[in-house]
């Protein structure tokens, strides 16, 4: 009986160690924008929210590779998801350029909150498709851009403009 308890104790300990290792790998993959890679390596399904993980947490190189359609690994083998991510990576780059902000700012203000909102959605076995994700991300980027434009300070008006009668628009 003692021998059997030791055997199952060792087996249980190895299983826990393997699960802990898997959790650490997934966590590292999550914060580095490589979660879909980790899941694909383990032959596990990639949830909808994890599809935008490379955009929400990846670096600029990753974003450019996705926008160019050349991801460094074969994570997104499904064509429709790959096209969606190509488009979204281009939209993120465009938003950065228009707003004059860093990738980190767009990730922090738009992509990470969106990713987390997708995580919270109940999983009923039918995931949100690429088109729905594209709409959600584009909508969030548009809201961000319009908010940025509204928050952007207007250029100061010089006193000279106010005092110069030739600049007056009054009709006499």
What is the DSSP code string of 38-92?
HHHHTT----HHHHTHHHHH--HHHHHHHHTT--SSS---SHHHHHHHHHHHHHH
**Prediction pTM value:** 0.69
Q: Do residues 98 and 124 touch, judged by C-beta distance below 8 A?
A: no
User: Worst-scoring range by mean pLDDT, 40-54, 62-76, 89-103, 136-150?
Assistant: 62-76
Mean pLDDT (whole number) for 11-15: 71
Residues 94-151: pLDDT tens digits?
998 888 899 999 999 999 999 988 888 765 444 578 899 999 999 999 998 888 655 5
pLDDT on residue 11: 58
Would you list the domain boundaries of the chain? 1-32, 46-150
Q: Kindly report the length of the chain.
A: 172
Name residues whose C-beta falls within 8 Å of residue 25's C-beta, 6 or more positions apart in sequence: 38
pLDDT on residue 126: 45
């Amino acid at each position: 009986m003692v021998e059997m308890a030791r055997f199952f104790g060792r087996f249980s300990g190895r299983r826990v160690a393997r699960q802990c290792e898997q959790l650490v790998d997934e966590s590292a993959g999550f914060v580095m924008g490589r979660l879909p890679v980790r899941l694909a390596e383990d032959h596990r399904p990639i949830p909808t929210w994890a599809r935008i993980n490379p955009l929400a947490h990846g670096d600029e190189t990753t974003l450019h590779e996705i926008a160019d359609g050349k991801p460094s690994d074969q994570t997104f083998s499904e064509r429709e998801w790959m096209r969606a991510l190509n488009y979204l990576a281009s939209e993120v780059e465009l938003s950065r350029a228009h707003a004059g902000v860093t990738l980190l700012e767009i990730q922090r203000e738009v992509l990470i909150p969106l990713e987390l909102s997708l995580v919270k959605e109940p999983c009923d076995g039918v995931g949100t498709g690429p088109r729905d994700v594209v709409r959600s991300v584009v909508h969030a980027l548009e809201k961000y851009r319009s908010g940025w434009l509204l928050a952007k300070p207007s250029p100061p008006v010089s006193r000279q403009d106010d005092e110069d009668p030739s600049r007056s628009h009054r009709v006499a």
